[in-house]
């Protein structure tokens, strides 16, 4: 479906007011990240019990994380497909399709039969739907970032670019808040295991609730008109036939740099949200010991940390607009390197140390994640921007997020319960991002209409 004459005409005037741009870019990523966090929480809390044979708990957790990581493999494919559609036919239609795909896949996970009922068919269907989630998220983020940055006033692209990024902490709070409410209504006598009622049907509610959120998101996005930046390219015949080929031929350097720019962000993101939930809930006297908190207490601690994630995501935009994306991220990435090296003393300092670890980790997460909403789109020209930014963002998900929980559990086991090696892993990945930032150039003043 190509750009209509009506959309071209509408795009020549400021048809997307600021409130509509902010809401459309924010609500979609909130829903997408909500869906992702619902799965991430269930991967730790529920799926090891329901979708795999009864046996070794560590093996079941690793298998659950492997399916979690499978979505990351599908994300670059989603970036290619949705990027092609977005660079050829416009941002609006593509964003609607991505949101629908994600919502349907999440809803269907909520009605899946479990391993005791249908055997290996259960994890097989879980893998397929998880791949569909990843495929959809591969096209969601870059489209939302483009809606924000291509409609931003001059000098405020990084600030506008933080609105789709803000969907991550908001989605986390909604998803985990809903799980907390359900767990409170269906309490367990065993703090290390959810109640029978929770495992039988309670865990399905957050997945089914996504349908309501998708309906709201569709209503907002269907009211958008195409950005003037894209419409100008469409009206002058400047679009390319195969955006992916054009990106690899003419912008391979930007693809590589964008991928490594995101590496530390992804590793930190999934260590703080997925691995930390496993480590925080593991018993101190378990074969691979953890912090020994009950589920409700630790998730409330995480939500408190995620509040800082949201605050510093918003603050990072104005800082990146004032000081530049590269300078801001160099400072933040250097801080992430240091943070990874002090995990043991922080996590060994009791409740205050653990709380400080969560606050610092999520603060750094906001400061590194926020500027990416502007930085990655600014690396590429309009006619390949959806594809280029999406591929960079999602290839980084394989190198970072897809393997981060798996590697973290392995290093946690190797360290016999100590998080030291997991922290070192984060520092090494951040050092790679730091080097990429040193090689890259500042994009604050590039022409977004080029």
Q: What is the mean pLDDT of residues 147-165?
A: 91
Mean pLDDT is lowest, of 211-225, 248-262, 340-354, for: 211-225
Provide the H-helix boundaries in 14-90: 18-45, 47-50, 57-89
Query: Residue 13 pLDDT > 70, yes or no?
Result: no
198 or 228, which is more confident = 198
* Distance separating alpha carbons of residues 203 and 42, to the nearest angstrom: 7
Residue 448's SS3 state is coil
Query: Residue 29 pLDDT > 80, yes or no?
Result: yes
Query: Residue 7 pLDDT > 50, yes or no?
Result: no
Rounded mean pLDDT of the chain? 87
Give the angle subtended at the CA of 387 by the CAs of 367 and 21, to the nearest 5°: 55
pLDDT tens figures, 39-98: 878 887 888 888 877 666 666 766 776 777 777 778 889 999 999 999 988 888 898 899
Q: What is the pLDDT of residue 56?
A: 60
Query: Residue 268 pLDDT > 80, yes or no?
Result: yes
Instruction: Please provide the size of the chain in residues.
Output: 450
pLDDT tens figures, 108-150: 999 999 988 998 898 889 889 988 988 988 888 888 899 889 8
pLDDT tens figures, 424-442: 999 999 999 999 999 999 9
Alpha-carbon dihedral 411, 415, 420, 424, rounded to 10 degrees: -40
In the chain, the N- to C-terminal Cα span, in Å, equals 24
Q: What is the pLDDT of residue 323?
A: 96
* Distance separating alpha carbons of residues 65 and 72, to the nearest angstrom: 11
Q: What is the pLDDT of residue 197?
A: 92
pLDDT tens figures, 228-245: 788 787 777 778 889 999
8 A C-beta contact, residue 87 and residue 239: yes
Burial track 145-178 (b if 16+ CB lie within 10 A, e otherwise): bbbbbbbbeeeebbbbbbbbbbbbbbbbbbbbeb
DSSP tag of 156: -
- Rg, the chain, Cα only: 21
224 or 195, which is more confident = 195
405 or 307, which is more confident = 307
8 A C-beta contact, residue 436 and residue 375: no
Task: Sketch out the chain's domains with CATH numbers.
Answer: 7-439 (1.20.1250.20)
Mean pLDDT is lowest, of 50-54, 61-65, 99-103, 339-343, for: 61-65
This prediction's pTM = 0.86
Q: What is the pLDDT of residue 4?
A: 47
Q: What is the pLDDT of residue 427?
A: 98
Half-sphere exposure of 424 (CA within 13 A, CB side): 7
Q: What is the pLDDT of residue 2?
A: 47
Q: What is the pLDDT of residue 75?
A: 85
């Amino acid at each position: 479906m190509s750009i209509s004459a009506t959309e071209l005409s509408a795009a020549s005037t400021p048809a997307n007011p600021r409130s509509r741009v902010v809401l459309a870019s924010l609500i979609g990523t909130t829903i997408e990240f909500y869906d992702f966090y619902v799965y991430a929480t269930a991967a730790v809390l529920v799926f090891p019990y329901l979708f795999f044979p009864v046996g070794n708990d560590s093996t079941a957790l690793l298998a659950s994380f492997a399916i979690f990581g499978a979505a990351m493999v599908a994300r670059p494919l989603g970036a290619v497909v949705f990027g092609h559609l977005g660079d050829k036919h416009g941002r609006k239609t593509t964003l609607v399709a991505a949101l629908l795909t994600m919502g349907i896949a999440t809803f269907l996970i909520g009605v899946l039969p479990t391993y005791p009922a249908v055997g290996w068919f259960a994890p097989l269907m879980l893998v397929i739907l998880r791949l569909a989630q990843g495929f959809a998220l591969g096209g969601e983020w870059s489209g939302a970032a483009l809606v924000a940055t291509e409609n931003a006033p001059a000098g405020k692209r990084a600030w506008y670019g933080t609105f789709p990024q803000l969907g991550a902490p908001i989605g986390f709070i909604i998803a985990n808040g809903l799980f907390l409410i359900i767990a409170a209504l269906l309490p367990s006598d065993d703090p290390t295991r959810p109640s029978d009622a929770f495992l039988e049907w309670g865990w399905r509610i957050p997945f089914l609730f996504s349908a309501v959120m998708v309906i709201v998101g569709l209503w907002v996005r269907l009211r958008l008109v195409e950005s003037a930046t894209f419409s100008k390219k469409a009206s002058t015949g400047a679009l390319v036939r195969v955006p992916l080929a054009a990106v690899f031929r003419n912008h391979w350097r930007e693809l590589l740099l964008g991928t490594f720019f995101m590496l530390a962000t992804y590793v930190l993101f999934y260590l703080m949200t997925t691995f930390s939930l496993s480590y925080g809930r593991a018993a101190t006297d378990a074969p691979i010991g953890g912090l020994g908190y009950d589920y409700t207490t630790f998730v409330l601690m995480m939500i408190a940390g995620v509040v800082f994630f949201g605050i510093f995501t918003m603050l990072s935009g104005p800082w990146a607009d004032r000081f530049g994306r590269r300078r801001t991220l160099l400072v933040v990435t250097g801080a992430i390197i240091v943070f990874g090296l002090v995990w043991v003393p922080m996590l060994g300092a009791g409740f205050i140390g653990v709380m400080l670890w969560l606050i610092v980790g999520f603060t750094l997460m906001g400061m590194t994640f926020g500027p990416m909403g502007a930085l990655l789109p600014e690396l590429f020209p309009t006619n390949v921007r959806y594809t280029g930014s999406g591929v960079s963002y999602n290839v980084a998900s394989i190198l970072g997020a897809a393997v981060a929980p798996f590697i973290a559990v392995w290093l946690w086991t190797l360290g016999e319960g100590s998080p030291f090696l997991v922290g070192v892993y984060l520092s090494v990945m951040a050092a790679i991002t730091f080097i990429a930032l040193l090689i890259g150039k500042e994009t604050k003043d590039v022409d977004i209409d080029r």
